[in-house]
């Protein structure tokens, strides 16, 4: 999969705030994602993102 900084993606599971879209802030072995609803940011492994990826928004 080819991900780029600035893309907005949808994952299998949503965020507890009710949002389900994530903006990519950093790409590499780890991804830094930001919830587009509440702004919460966190780091997650590339493997987990590729496994849970649903669609590009």
Does 6 reside within a domain? yes
DSSP per residue over 27-56, as a string? -SSEEEEEETTT--EEEEEHHHHHHHEEEE
For position 28, what pLDDT does the model report? 93
For position 1, what pLDDT does the model report? 76
pTM of the model: 0.89
| Domain count for the chain | 1
Does 48 reside within a domain? no
* Domain assignment of residue 11, given as a range: 1-37
User: Rounded CA gap, 26 and 5, in Å?
Assistant: 6
Which candidate, 30, 13, 45, places its Cα nearest to that of 22?
Answer: 13
| Per-residue pLDDT reduced to its tens digit, 1-57 | 789 999 999 999 889 998 999 999 999 999 999 999 999 999 999 999 999 999 999
């Amino acid at each position: 999969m080819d991900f780029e900084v600035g893309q907005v993606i949808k994952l299998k599971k949503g965020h507890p705030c009710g949002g389900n879209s994530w903006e990519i802030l950093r790409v590499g072995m780890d991804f830094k994602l930001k919830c587009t609803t509440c702004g919460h940011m966190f780091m997650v492994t590339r493997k987990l993102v590729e496994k849970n990826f649903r669609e590009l928004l």
